[in-house]
Amino acid sequence: MAVRTTKKAGPDSDYTVPGIGLEEGHGVGDILQMRLHALNDLQLTLKHAHWNVVGPDFIGVHEMLDPQIDAVRAMVDETAERMATLGVAPVGTPGAIASDRTWNEYSLGRASTVEHLAALNLVYDGVISDERAAITAVSDVDPVTEDMLIDHTKQLELFQWFIRAHLENNAGITASSGETTEVGAAAKAARTTGRRGNRLGRK
């Protein structure tokens, strides 16, 4: 099992769950560490967008994001507790997220709702793709962890649909289609819809 090397809160325990080898169980825990980082980062990013959306659709998007944030926070807790159950101490510190993550800082500050939604659509692309890769990685070792990850992915895909529905026209084309960066997606969505906020973010 391929395991990413990340900072650890301490040595692994001398146990894992019954029916799984110690090395395999701890390997699953190490895979979950990156999921923990991604979900912690996602809930902070969603809250950041929640605070910084502007424009005529503000209240709808602002209120749509809060339940997503709450659900992702619950996923964070469930992931960390599963790691501990497997005998691996979860690391949830901001410094560990910043040093271990393989993705860039979210790119937008104050911006229109459509700009934030276009950028968040790409954020969800990355998180969901990595969740699916983790499902594959643990599927032959730990069906309990696999089931948890499948449930998380199902929820995340639903949340992404909510976001895409704001960007989609009746032909099924999203306003940011074809863009691969958050700033590019935001700019194209703003051009396509004619809605631009006061300022894009820090890049």
pTM for the structure as a whole: 0.90
Give the pLDDT band (50/70/90) at residue 7: low
Which tens digits make up the pLDDT trace of 20-70? Answer: 999 999 999 999 999 999 999 999 999 999 999 999 899 999 999 999 999
Bridge partners of residue 23, in order along the sequence:
none
Q: Which CATH superfamily is domain 22-193 in?
A: Ferritin, core subunit, four-helix bundle (1.20.1260.10)
Which tens digits make up the pLDDT trace of 165-188? Answer: 999 999 999 999 999 999 999 999
Domain coordinates in residue numbering, the chain: 22-193
Query: Which pLDDT value is given to residue 200?
Result: 42
The rounded percent of the chain whose pLDDT value lies above 90 is 86
Query: Which pLDDT value is given to residue 176?
Result: 94
Query: Which pLDDT value is given to residue 199?
Result: 43
Cα-only R_g, the chain: 18
Distance (Å, whole) CA 133 – CA 142 = 14
Q: What is the DSSP letter of 168?
A: B
Number of C-beta neighbours around residue 152 at 10 A = 24
Number of C-beta neighbours around residue 89 at 10 A = 15
Give the closest residue to 195 by CA, choosing from 55, 100, 25: 55
Bridge partners of residue 53, in order along the sequence:
111
**Which tokens sit at 176?**
């940011």
Which tens digits make up the pLDDT trace of 63-99? Answer: 999 999 999 999 999 999 999 999 999 999 999 999 9
